[in-house]
């Protein structure tokens, strides 16, 4: 997208954004950061803070046999957005784990565009959102599979928990597949805390607030199970836990 062209609601990737907030930072927004993972390499990116603009953008190339992991926590901003475009080589892998925690009138979003351009690539995207008050949490994820990208295996899992009826969750998965030997799947759910589970935990002596907190912690932790570094995983989980406490 031309850096001088302000997006509108007609742009699918910006349909649910806070365009007033975007317009205030658009002129000074930096181009997407370009990253390259070399053949058979493994790069990891962890995000727990957003810049002043509230927008982070990445353009990533993952070479043959390489892997790129992105894990992020979006919280504490009136408007925030993480946007990533990834192009995968033969046998390459892209892993995304994202947590969105919003309250008030906050608008937070994760946008991905993953292109499988060579055979035997894999990708997995897991996003969990907890939304309170009148907040909006969005995930827009596109998976493209080129004609020559046979034996691609790509998956998206998006789940949102609404703590208040005024909160809004948007999940927009997109599949564009031109190969015929692929396995691609996506699932999206929006719900509330399970009242039966809360009641069961209460019968075992857990106070309602403790039961609620434990259920939300377990829900959000799904976004971080693929992190292979215990210290890094615990740091992101602690950030998410602090944000959860702030939603009450």
Question: Does residue 220 lie in a domain region?
Answer: no
Query: CA-CA distances (angstroms) from residue 133 to 107, 140, 173, 188, 247?
Result: 12, 22, 25, 21, 9
Q: Indicate the number of domains in the chain.
A: 1
Question: Does residue 37 lie in a domain region?
Answer: yes
Question: Does residue 245 lie in a domain region?
Answer: no
Give residue 76's pLDDT band: very low, low, confident or very high (50, 70, 90).
very high
Mean of the per-residue pLDDT values of the chain: 92
Whole-structure pTM over 0.85, yes or no?
yes
Give me the helix-helix angle, 230-246 and 208-221, nearest 10°.
140
Q: Are 77 and 108 contacting, i.e. CB atoms less than 8 angstroms apart?
A: yes
Position 4 scores a pLDDT of 64
pLDDT tens track for 180-219: 999 999 999 998 877 777 766 777 777 777 778 888 889 9
Percentage of the chain surpassing pLDDT 90?
A: 77
Cβ neighbourhood burial of 174 (10 Å; 0-12, 13-18, 19+): middle
Question: Does residue 2 lie in a domain region?
Answer: no
Question: Does residue 218 lie in a domain region?
Answer: no
Question: Does residue 135 lie in a domain region?
Answer: yes
Question: Does residue 155 lie in a domain region?
Answer: yes
Q: Which residue has the tokens 């971080």?
A: 224
Rounded to an integer, the average pLDDT of 25-36 is 91
The domain of 32 spans 12-192
Question: Does residue 217 lie in a domain region?
Answer: no
């Amino acid at each position: 997208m031309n850096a001088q062209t302000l997006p509108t609601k007609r742009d699918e990737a910006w349909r649910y954004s806070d365009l007033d907030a975007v317009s205030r930072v658009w002129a000074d927004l930096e181009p997407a950061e370009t990253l390259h993972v070399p053949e058979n390499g493994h790069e990891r990116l962890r995000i727990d803070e957003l810049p002043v603009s509230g927008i982070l953008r990445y353009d990533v190339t993952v070479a043959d046999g390489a892997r790129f992991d992105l894990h992020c926590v979006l919280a504490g901003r009136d408007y925030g957005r993480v946007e990533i475009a990834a192009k995968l080589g033969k046998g390459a892998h892209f892993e995304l784990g994202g947590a969105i925690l919003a309250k008030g009138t906050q608008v937070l979003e994760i946008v991905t565009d993953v292109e499988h351009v060579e055979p035997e690539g894999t990708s997995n995207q897991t996003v969990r959102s907890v939304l309170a008050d009148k907040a909006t949490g969005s995930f827009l994820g596109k998976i493209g599979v080129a004609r020559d990208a046979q034996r691609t295996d790509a998956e998206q899992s998006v789940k949102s928990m609404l703590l208040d009826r005024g909160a809004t969750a948007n999940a927009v998965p997109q599949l564009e597949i031109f190969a015929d030997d692929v396995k691609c799947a996506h699932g999206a759910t929006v719900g509330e805390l399970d009242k039966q589970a809360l009641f069961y935990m209460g019968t075992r002596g857990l106070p309602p607030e403790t039961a609620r907190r434990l259920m939300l912690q377990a829900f959000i932790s799904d976004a971080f199970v693929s992190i292979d570094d215990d210290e890094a995983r615990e740091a992101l989980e602690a950030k998410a836990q602090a944000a959860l406490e702030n939603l009450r």
